[in-house]
Chain A
């Protein structure tokens, strides 16, 4: 579904590459976590899939298209196969939840009837029924992210890209968002999610691709977040590890068909 072949990305000539010789193959229906320290190239990876940038070297195939060599006028077609969500939600502040989601369909020229049918269905799926008429400012962070996810999947994309979707949310809310992403994944949508959230990664036990300075250092089928030290730079380390000690947070496992529920864990074990 997504294949990177020896991909390098250099933003400014002479600078350190943001990605270097990255080869990753993501199958249809997979759920992949992209982890790595800040600046390791996670967002760059996602922007190459979206073809916001072109790779400096190597080939990228997304949904059967050779993205690196895709001509500009075909890019919209590619993006209709992709959904994206961000840490900062990027909802249009002057539109209601309903209008935000409908916007994504209107601007690709979907007929009015399709908009009328699909939007309520998707809002129901993400659990925002009854809040259609709210403005983004009248929603909690979690609800805003649900609205953003609704907008990303309303056109039923094959792939959902998420760049730190839980970065602005508290653990409980994050868990709700992860459940939602998991449900979207279980309907066959390929999900690639860049994250710093170790609890979520450890809990979900999905494929983990770890980047470090633009290089893939780990690609594990059902991995954990990995060692904090290697991932967090010195500055970030104390801030995160300074969370109240002894606070044991239970994350109820996310049910997946055909898999035993994942054992709850404490931060100490991570």
Chain B
């Protein structure tokens, strides 16, 4: 009886306030889409870091022919120079460097042709255009400065580069995008709270007579307020579910079907990540509705 009665009241309330309810659904939908987008961007950054930080750490580029660096005055790095550098790594940097991989010009060329089978921007490069390098895996990636200090300036070493730094601009961009999405989400969430508050208030006012009688015959506070609470919650959660659906479709068709096909060497967020974010979005929606309800109902349906 209780359940049936409350369900009936909720249905009646939703019907009576259709336009407002639709507005709440849309605003929560948009705001939570932004919240979800921010979360997915962060998870994308995480994936990229996982992927790339392991692959590339420190590259010690060896002198190619024609380098202008003073350490490369003798031309292309010789085997002796390379051995000397490896010696230093094995002794002075024994604690910092965990492993050393040598990438010869031939290997660099193979990797290059694999990535760009049709040449780079129209130019067919040859193996001689490539540069040999030592790839260092550090015990602690943060120790780049020490490694760089020791190796920079040695004969045969053109450049010591922290490959992670290459990604910094990309991560900065993604972080800014996250902030933007989060900022928009914040504004929209505020709008959602105000809208839910107004909706509940309208609903409460239009049912003043009912609630007045309910109070007089001794209906409990919860019983009087529950229909309004549920109305707000249902509208907000519907918005959240739409946001989840929207994000899922966006990831499915934009990322998985399109981006991944065109640029396939990057790990992307997938529908699974959307499912991880979804419960939080629903939770945020419930919290929104709860906050709005508590604020409104204590003023409009007081015992």
Contact = CB atoms under 8 A, between A and B. Distances in A.
Contacts of B4: 112
Contacts of B122: none
A123 to B, nearest CB: 16
18 contacts: A50-B216, A75-B303, A78-B218, A79-B215, A90-B212, A92-B209, A93-B209, A103-B217, A106-B5, A107-B214, A107-B219, A107-B223, A108-B218, A108-B219, A108-B223, A109-B1, A109-B223, A112-B1
Interface in A91-119: 92-93, 103-104, 106-112, 115
A104 to B, nearest CB: 4
A223 to B, nearest CB: 29
Contacts of A106: 1, 5
Interface range, B side = 10 to 19
Interface of A: 50, 72-73, 75-82, 84, 90, 92-93, 103-104, 106-112, 115, 151, 155
B210 interface: yes
A110 B219 CA distance: 11
Query: Ordered nearest first, which 8 A-B pairs have the shortest CB separation?
Result: A79-B218, A80-B218, A107-B219, A104-B217, A76-B218, A107-B214, A76-B220, A112-B1
A50 B216 CA distance: 8
Q: Which of A77, A84, A92, A107 has the most chain B CB atoms closer than 10 A to its own CB?
A: A107
B2 interface: yes
Contacts of B1: 106, 109-112, 115
Contact of B216 (A84, A111, A112): A84
B143 interface: no
A107 B212 contact: no
Q: Which of A76, A82, A93, A151 has the most chain B CB atoms closer than 10 A to its own CB?
A: A76
A114 to B, nearest CB: 9
Contacts of B219: 76, 107-108
A90 B224 CA distance: 17
B210 A92 contact: yes
B254 interface: no
Q: Which of A50, A109, A115, A151 has the most chain B CB atoms closer than 10 A to its own CB?
A: A109
A107 B220 CA distance: 8
B221 interface: yes
A7 B213 CA distance: 27
Contacts of A115: 1
Nearest to A79: B218
A35 to B, nearest CB: 23
Contacts of B2: 109
Contacts of A104: 213, 217
Interface in B207-244: 209-210, 212-221, 223-224
B224 to A, nearest CB: 8
Contact of B217 (A108, A111, A112): A108
A269 to B, nearest CB: 38
Contacts of B303: 72, 75-76
